Structures are given as C-alpha cells and as structure tokens.
Chain A
Amino acid sequence: MQMEFAGFPYLSAILLSCLAGLLLILFIPREKQLQIKWVSAIFSGITLLLAIYLFFAYDKSRGGLQFVEKLEWIPYLGIQYLNAADGFNLPNLLLTGIVFFTGVLTMWEMRERVKEFFALYFLLVIGVYGLFMTMDLFFIFVWYDVSLIPMYLLIAVWGTTRKEYAAMKLTLYLLAGSALILPAVLYLVVNSGFNTFDIVALMRPGTFTPSQQKFAFILLYLGFGILAGVWPFHTWSPVGHVAAPHAVSMVHAGVLMKIGAFGVLRVAIFLCPQGWQHWAELMALLAAVGIIYGVLAGLRQTDLKYVIGYSSVSHMGIVGLGLSTLTVDGLNGAVLQMFAHGVMTALFFSSVGYIYDRTHTKAIAELGGLSRIMPVASSYFIVAALASMGVPGLANFWAELLVLISAFRVYPVRGLLAIIALVFSALFMLRVVQQTFYGPNNEKYATLQDVTFGLGMPRMILVAILVLFGLYPSLMLDMIETASIPFINGLP
C-alpha cells in the first residue's frame, strides 16, 4: 500500500467547509431564512465541487490511497486523524456531495425553524463525510455517532408520520449497532499487538488469527449491518424514512444506509478477510431474504414513502449480496449500487417531497392521476421508479447486473431468487406509478401548480447523474476497480 502526503488537504477542506457553513448559519438571525438557505446551498455546493474534483483528480493508474492526511490525535492510544481516498470511498464521497447539495435545494420551500434545521443538517453531513474519508477505526466510530445526534432531532422535530416513535426507534437501533462495533474494534486493536487504530496498519495479512477474524467479523457485520438495513435488522429504516423530513430522508436512505454497507466493507471485510470468507454464506442468505422481503412488503404498502422505504431494504440487499460474493465483480457491483441507489433514492424522496408539500398526503390511493396535473413533477418520480426497476440506461442497471451475475455464479439458488424478486419489484413499482400518476384524477388537486424550473433543479441534477452513469458506467467502475482488484488479489 502506497503512502504519501498530499499538498492541499482536500478531504479536510470538505469537512471544514461544512463546519464553516454550520458556524455561519448559527450566526445568521433566524428571521433571515432566505439568507440561511443561500449559505447552506453555497457551502454544500463547495463540498460537492471538492468531491467532484477529488473524484477526477484521483490517479487511477496508480491506485491505492491518495490525498493522505495524517495528524497524531491521541498518541498514547495510537489514534490518528487519518484521511485518505481510494476507489471505495470516492464514489461515496461524491454521492454524499450530490445528496447533500440537492437536499438543501429540496428544502428550499421550508418555513419552520429553518435555522436549526440547516444547522443540524450540516452536522449530520459532517458525520457522514467524516466516516467516508477516515482510515482510523476510532474516528470511524466517532463519525458514526456524530451523525446519530442530529438525526434524532431532525426526525422528531421536523418529521411527519409517527415521528417521535420513528426517531426513537432509529436512534436506539443505530446505537445498538455501535454497541457491537466498539467492542469489536477494541478487540481487534488490542489483539493486533500494535498500539494503533490505523486501518492500513491493521490490515496487513497475518495480523489476526482466523478465529479472531471470524469472531470480530460477525460483530462488525451485524453492527454495521443494522445501519445498512440488513434483514432482519431493517425495521428502523422504512419507519425512519417515512417520518423524516424530505432532505433528511434523502440523506438517510441515500447516504446513511451506505455508511453501514461501507463500514462492512472498510472495517469488517478489510480487517477480517478470513472472517469474511467464513461468513459469506450467511451474508448472502440474509441479503437474499432482504431482497425478497423488501419486495413483498413493498407490494402491500399504501403510503408512497413506505414503498420507497421497503424498496430501499430490497436494494440494500443487493449491496449485501454483492459484498458476499467474494469476487471483483461483486464488489464493483456493490459499490456501484451504493452510489446508484443513493442517487435514485434521493430522487425518489425529493420528488415525493415536492408532491407532499402540495397535496399533504402520501397515501397512494388519494393521489391518483397526478401526471395530468403536474406532469414534470411526476416524471421525476417515474424516472426514479424506472431506475429502481433496473431499466437499462440508468446507473442502477449496471450495478444490479454485475451483482446478480456474480451472485448467480457463486450462489445459484439465492441469485435466482433475487432475480425473481427483482421482477416482482418491477411489478410493484409499476403498480405504484400507475395508481399514483395515471389513476382517475383527484378533484382536490386539480388546481396545483407543476414544479417550476428553479424548484425542479435538484431533481434534474439527480436524473442527469443517473443517466450519466447509466450511459458511462465505466467512469465509475474504473474507479472502483482500482481498489477492488488489488484487494481481491491480495486475499489469502
């Protein structure tokens, strides 16, 4: 693994611009709502630009860790502030930037306690960015929990359906995940014999015995799996998605669940590859059940956001299935799916957000015939639904294809079941689209305005990204391969 110290600390600059935005928001008087929104948009935009820059400045021919930033934090415990970028986290950083920025734009019409909302929203995103870029186990844990604090308030204060229940459930579930992660992390660090939390140092082959790896892996997998919505620990996720305000749902389903999957990859799989090989069967099983369960549960939902929530469970199952195949294609597909699903879900929640702000309902039966009243707003949702079905031309297609092919090779039965389930998922998405947008008109909504160009901006960006990576998947896959190929080749 190559190491170098980059010149300008781009990764920290992302965190610092979030922090600067947060502080600036705190000092703007609460009446000046528009100013707060502009500041949020500008600073989230800066982080997005930085993420885009990093994505393209990464030297793919060299691979490995780049843009390394290192600072001794607590030397006595071997804790470092250590950030780096590689093919696994760059897609996720880019995703975070996209969802963060479009989330701010989605909340443009918000009126209630704007200042506190955006301050907490920034805090949430700091945690997410931090987790994706750090290579230190201690900081992974810290960032994980940093994103937890604002989550509770964001859902409980600004949420909608059963918000307090959902917020409490979500927070406790996620903390329960960290209750497994911290002991496992400490266990690994203590047993490594080195006094360090540095992932790069700890992932040297032979650091941990196979039995230690098996033990730690399952704890880490379950701990991060709770956040990734792995069946049967997924129940917090649909409830949380439904209750959260739109931008938070976007971050939540779009990025936060990826943190879980990313944690499984970065911590569990990196540090305990033999544990991974040992438990891969179980991972594949849980993932397959999750895919099927998500689809079946989604078929019966009457609330638009619940539908998306359960489809997320199913799509995160695809990520899990990809991770369980132990192949390059599976890893590529899983990481691409993290990215594609993040953008797609953000588009889903963003478009539902617009519709809900007008109609004040998410009940599918009540909406009927919206495509005639607001054709543009409806089309955004329909694009997301198409992406969710895995229609070629959109980024999700490639991700699902890669995962399913490699899964079918490694676990034929589970792979086949997953493919069948995805056919059903097309059925349920089409049903939702048909009932919501092509049913008989609901008189109540006849006078509603369609989405304007300005307000449609965030959805356009998201659609453009889905199409871009749908037409040029190699843009993303080349990046992921710089990390996945050396990793799989280096396996014992």
Chain B
Amino acid sequence: MMHWMLISPELYYLTAAFWLLVACMTGPPKPKRDYFTALSLSAVGVIISLASVTLQGILFSQTYRIDLFAQVFKVMLASGLFLVVCICTELNGIRERYQRELYLLLFVCTLAMMMLVSSVHLLNIYISLELSSYSLYILVALRKQRDMGLEAGIKYFLIGIFASALMLFGIAMLYGATRVSHIEDLIQVLPGLVDNPAVIIGLLLTLSGFFFKLAVFPFHLWAPDVYQGASNQVTAYIATASKVAAIAILLRLIALTGDGSVYLVHVMVVLSIISMTIGNLAALVEQDLKRLLAHSTIAHAGYVLIGILSMNDAGYSGAVFYALSLLVMKFAAFLVVVQVAGDGRNLRIEQLAGLHRRSPVLALTLMISAFSLAGIPPTIGFTGKFLVFAAAMQRGYFTLVLIAMINVVISLYYYLLVIRAAYLLEPREEPADVRISPALKSLSIAMTCLMVVGGIFPHYLIELARAAVRGLM
C-alpha cells in the first residue's frame, strides 16, 4: 500500500485525466463549469504534490525514482498547470468544440512530465517524453484560427519526431557502448567511458530530445512558429511547465557524467552561446509579442545551459532556481498577454499602447516580468542568472559569462521596447479598457510580488534548490 502512496501525484493526475476524458464524451462543453472543475482539480493537484514532497523511494524495477529533486519539480509542474488553468477563463482562442479536450490534454501532459522527472531508465524517459510531446502537438492544433494552429502543430510535430528519432538513435548508441540503460548503472559506467566517442555522440543525441523541448539551438526553429500559432494559454503552458520539465531531465542526465568530458562541455558551451545570441538578436526585430517571447525563451535556454554545463553543485542548483524563476516570470508575461488579447488573437507589441491607463496592474506586472526576464535586480530573474553565472565562474568560464552578460544587455533593448509600448505609446484610437476579474487581478499582483520578493530574499529558495540537487550528484 505504501508503495502506491509514493506516486500519489501521478495517480491523482491520472485519475483526473480519466475523469476529464469521460467528461469529454458526455455532451457539449459548458465553459463556466468546466473551468471551475479544471481549476479545482489542478488546485488539489498542487496540494497533493506539495504533501508528497518529502517522499523517497524507488519503484517499478528500479526505473522510477522518487526523490526530493523529482518532487520539487513535480510541485513546479503542478503549480504551472494550476496557473495556466487560472488564465483559461475565456478560451476565445480555442475552437468551442474542443474546450474540454484542452483541459484533458493539459492534465495528461502534466502527468507525462511528472513521470519524466522521476524516470531513471532511458526507455522510461523516452516514453514519458513522447507522451508529453504528443499531448502538446494536439494542444497546439486546437487553435481557433485553424490555419495557424494546424501549421504550427505540424511544424512542431515534424521537428519533434525528428528530435525523437535522434534521441532514440542516441539511446541505442549509449546502450550499445555501455550495455546498460538504467541511469543508476550508467552512473557507474559513464564517468569511465566519457571520452569514448560513441558514448559522447550517444549522449549528445539523447540530449537532443531535451534540447528540442528546451528550444536550444539547433532545435529551436519551432519555437517562434509554435508560440505564434498556438492559442495564448497553450503557449503559456509550453513556455512554463514544459521548459521546467526539460531542465529537470537535462540536469538528471548531465549529472550522470560526473565531472564531465571536455568534449561534452565544449559542445554545450557552443550551443549555449549560439542559443542566447540568436535568440536575443532575432527578438530585436520581432513585432509579435508571442514570437518575441519565443525568441527570449531560446535565449533563456542558453542561460540555463550555462548552469548545467558548469557541472558543479552550484551550477545545478542554479539551474533548478532558474527553472523556478522562468516559471514565475514567463507565466506573469503570458498572464498579461492572455488578458490584453481578450479575443484570443495574437498580440502585437503596439497593441500594448496605453496599457498603463487601461490596466495599471497588468502594466506593472508586464514591466516587472520584462525586467525579470532581462535579469535586472532585484527580481527573481536576476538571482537565477547570478547563480548560474557564479557557478560558471567557479569553473573558470570567464569568457562565457562575459558573452552572456553582453547578451543580457542586448536583450534589455527589446524588453524595454515592450515596456515602452505599455507606458509611453499612445494608442491611435482608444481601445476598450482591459477587463480583468478581481481574482486574476490578485493573481497578477501576487506574481509581481513573487518576482520581487523572490529576488530580494532568495535564500530559502536557493537552499531548497541545493537540497534538491544533492541527490543528483
């Protein structure tokens, strides 16, 4: 019996998904009621994953591991789902017929990602990754503007299966070189074999599946199109929860290599630099806010990689902290996008004009999240960057940190353009005030406070992140 308690969050999300599946088959959607059902289901999910945060154990013939690292990420994923469901009050961007399926797929995807962060067997990882990816492919295609959604869905799918194929190939090579596929066993063998070319290539190809999820160069091409094509809520989910899961599993795999091989580090340094540079440069000319955020995601993937490739305690905990900060600040930005684009369409930057009068709260949230994304203190985004940069410096990667800081300067330019639109531009014709319910208003204020307080008093979060990675090493 105790056995099953260990995976109570997963079991819960499985049950919830079944329930939603049954609901999908019984009649047309009732937006209001469905929303509250999904909201309460996801809220309970957060509570359950919080309650199970201290559980420890290993299940299913050593392929599934419950430790603090996995549980912390499960809490983040559950919170991510809850937050995204919160902003689903008006699903104008989704075809009416499929509004219930949206919730179903979100729950399934969260379940898959929870499985992903606990998996310690390569096949297990692959299956969870695919389950979450397939849910996302469909979610993207649910867009009301059918052409956009389908186009984005197909692009996402094609690049996704390509990355999956590479990943399978990599897993096969790893297995061929080491004869093991349990991560536990890999930990034993890998550090000795890490200079073997087959192992390096196998590992890199395996990682490419996660690079795809995280939108790291050269698997970043889907991001702008998918962000633009998917409905605003789905984009918010991809930008937050899905990134968090990708960071988690990357950490788990990289931590395997012990001190790491020089080749692996070099490859990752190059990927990191290219990701942040092209992400930031491409964002400079972007007019669509969601595409801009997509490019900024690519850049952030580069920053996270800095923490991961440092391969020390500080770098890993920095990356965990970074995942958390990404969740908070990306969500805050999308909260504003969803509310301002009430009709469910995409949002161009100039449509933010006059936001400080139309909704001061949203304008403030947008400003703080933009500063946080840019990494300006005292926000949580700065602390995340500081931690990964400090970790990289401990390994002596001075140039990498310098390049990353130059990138921060470049990125501030386009974040300032967003802030400028919200605070300085005057709209040509006065658009209607942004309607925002009291609940969402408080959520928006809460996110703002979280970004600032998390930046000023990061001590406990850092300690949590350090405790979480202790099991990895």
Q: Which residues of A does B touch, CB under 8 Å?
A: 73-77, 138, 141-142, 145-146, 148-149, 152-153, 156-157, 164, 168, 171-172, 175-176, 178-180, 182-183, 186-187, 189-190
Contacts and interface: CB of A to CB of B under 8 A. Distances in A.
24 contacts: A76-B459, A76-B466, A138-B386, A141-B377, A142-B377, A145-B376, A148-B376, A149-B371, A149-B376, A152-B419, A153-B419, A157-B423, A164-B420, A164-B424, A168-B420, A171-B412, A178-B405, A179-B405, A180-B405, A182-B386, A182-B401, A190-B390, A190-B393, A190-B394
B463 A76 contact: yes
Nearest to A138: B386
B462 interface: yes
Given A73-B459, A164-B424, A187-B398, A145 B382 contact: yes
Interface residues of B, number: 30
B378 A142 contact: yes
A388 B423 CA distance: 37
Given A145-B376, A156-B423, A179-B402, A186 B390 contact: yes
Contacts of B466: 76
A168 B419 CA distance: 11
Contacts of A180: 402, 405
B379 to A, nearest CB: 9
Specify the main secondary structure of chain A where it touches its partner.
helix
A156 B386 CA distance: 28
A475 B423 CA distance: 45
B377 A187 contact: no
B406 interface: yes
Contacts of B394: 190
A190 B378 CA distance: 22
Given A145-B382, A179-B405, A74 B459 contact: yes
Interface string B245-281: 0000000000000000000000000000000000000
Given A74-B462, A145-B382, A156 B424 contact: yes
Contacts of B405: 178-180, 182-183
B398 A179 contact: no
B453 interface: no
Most B CB within 10 A of own CB, among A74, A148, A171, A178: A74
A180 B398 CA distance: 11
B350 to A, nearest CB: 14
Contacts, number: 79
Interface string B58-75: 000000000000000000
Given A141-B377, A164-B424, A183-B401, A175 B393 contact: no
Contacts of A148: 376
B409 interface: yes
Given A76-B463, A149-B371, A179 B409 contact: yes
Contacts of A168: 413, 416, 420
A141 B385 CA distance: 13
B459 A183 contact: no
B301 interface: no
A176 B409 CA distance: 6
Given A146-B378, A186-B390, 19 more contacts: A73-B459, A74-B459, A74-B462, A76-B463, A146-B377, A153-B419, A168-B416, A172-B413, A175-B408, A176-B406, A176-B409, A179-B402, A180-B402, A182-B405, A183-B402, A183-B405, A187-B398, A190-B394, A190-B396
B389 interface: yes
A481 B348 CA distance: 58
A153 B401 CA distance: 28
B458 interface: yes
A434 B409 CA distance: 43
A190 B397 CA distance: 11
A171 B398 contact: no
A292 B402 CA distance: 32
Nearest to A176: B409
A157 B386 CA distance: 30
A122 to B, nearest CB: 15
A171 B393 contact: no
A175 B377 contact: no
Interface in B359-394: 371, 376-378, 382, 386, 389-390, 393-394
A182 B420 CA distance: 26
